[in-house]
Amino acid sequence: MTTFARIGSSVTEYQAPQASPHRPPREDLGPLTTTVPKEYVHRAAVTEVFLTGWRQTDTDACTVTAQWPRAHVFYGPSYGLHDPLLFVETLRQTVPLLSHAVYGAPMDHKQIWQRLQVALDPTALYAGPTPAALELHVRCTEVERRAGVLRGMRIDVTATRDGHRLGTASTSFTSHSRALYRRLRGEYGDADAAMANAVAMPAPIRPELVGRDRRDDVVLANRDRDGRWQLRVHTLHPVIFDHPNDHAPGMLLLEAARQAVQHHVGPVPVLATGMEAAFHRYVELDAPAWVAATSLADGRVRVVVEQDDALAFECVVTPSHPAG
């Protein structure tokens, strides 16, 4: 399988690994599929890479392909449906992939979420007898460069799953060089130091209250007298912290929003099929952060994360209820 990606004014080729020279390829195998390099999606574990390829379809337009496993240790299916946050993680991986492979951002540049909007069709999330095959049709706009280097952009996505419409998404993000990022983060820019200085993790609330089976996957602690949950930052979690990070990852905050909505709306199971999120500031690891949920008049739930009395993250979740 050969995929082409445009970098600047040139076209580069993404080539799947070739058959061993010691064994002739079998023609009856058909096209072979592999994941994209894990470095392109900022993952340390190959098993956590969901993207399988990309191709340029027009100026500032690409199609990205992905595969969802039938089971996943953290984003596993429940009630016969794939976890909507599995789609969000797929979208998150698309951000660095396009930044590096298509827009030429150096591999040590970091992409930072600003806003995120996702709307999924619950009927397209069914967990079938084979892994789900996705196509993300991506349009890139508001592309910002400085001295020819990517500084940020917005991507709008229409997603299909096995040929059927799955939903839409959009996200905007900035892209920073290592030097600029360290200047912006100051004393907080060292990931190893930040992990070492993380606050002690409080005990989790009961997993069943937030739609989880394992204590280690619970990201909320018991409420305080103001009705807020403390964010549990499990720096050794193999999925949320796939590698050292100097702040709470965006996927941790989105998981906190999902769990907060489940606790707030429960006990009926909830799917977070709609999300509108804004990332206002970094959530640091060396101080407690607090999560609160409020019902809105239209049936959605607003979740906020605050730290040091400042709003760091907010997300409006549209909950769906799985049949059965």
Mean pLDDT across 245-251: 97
Question: 27 pLDDT band (50/70/90 cuts)?
Answer: low
Judging by beta carbons within 10 Å of its beta carbon (0-12, 13-18, 19+), is residue 27 exposed, middle or buried?
exposed
Put simply, whether the predicted model's pTM sits higher than 0.75 gets the answer: yes
**Six-digit token string for 11:** 């076209």
Q: Which residue has the tokens 């769906």?
A: 320
Tell me the C-alpha distance between 149 and 151, whole Å.
6
If one looks up domain 2-17+31-179 in CATH, what number appears?
3.10.129.10
Taking residues 272-277, report their average pLDDT.
Answer: 97
The residue type at 24: P
User: What pLDDT score was predicted for residue 226?
Assistant: 86
Tell me the average pLDDT across 222-237: 93
What one-letter code names the amino acid at 251?
M
% of the chain with per-residue pLDDT over 70:
90
Instruction: Please give the CATH superfamily to which domain 190-320 belongs.
Output: Hotdog Thioesterase (3.10.129.10)
Give residue 324's pLDDT: 56
Tens digit of each residue's pLDDT (9 = 90 or more) over 77-98 = 999 999 999 999 999 999 999 9
Mean pLDDT confidence for 24-49: 82
pLDDT for 212: 96
| Cβ count near 254 (within 10 Å) | 27
pLDDT at 225: 81
Question: Are 109 and 178 in contact, with CB atoms under 8 Å apart?
Answer: yes
Contact assessment for residue 133 and residue 149, using Cβ atoms and an 8 Å cutoff: no
CA–CA separation, 193 vs 201, rounded Å?
17
Q: What is the pLDDT of residues 136-188, one digit of tens each?
A: 999 999 999 999 999 999 999 999 999 999 999 999 999 999 999 999 999 99
183 vs 31, residue with greater confidence: 183
Q: What is the pLDDT of residue 8?
A: 38
Tell me the H-state helices in 80-148. 84-97
- Mean pLDDT rounded to a whole number for the chain: 91
Calculate Rg over the CA atoms of the chain.
20
Min mean pLDDT across 24-33, 63-72, 162-171, 297-306 is at 24-33
Q: In what order do the strands lie in the sheet with 110-120?
A: 51-58, 61-68, 132-146, 149-161, 164-176, 110-120, 271-279, 310-320, 301-307, 289-295, 229-231, 220-223
Question: Encoding tokens for residue 201?
Answer: 């993790």
* β-pairing verdict for 110-120 and 164-176: antiparallel
Q: Where along the chain do its domains lie?
A: 2-17+31-179, 190-320
Coil vs helix vs strand at 105: coil
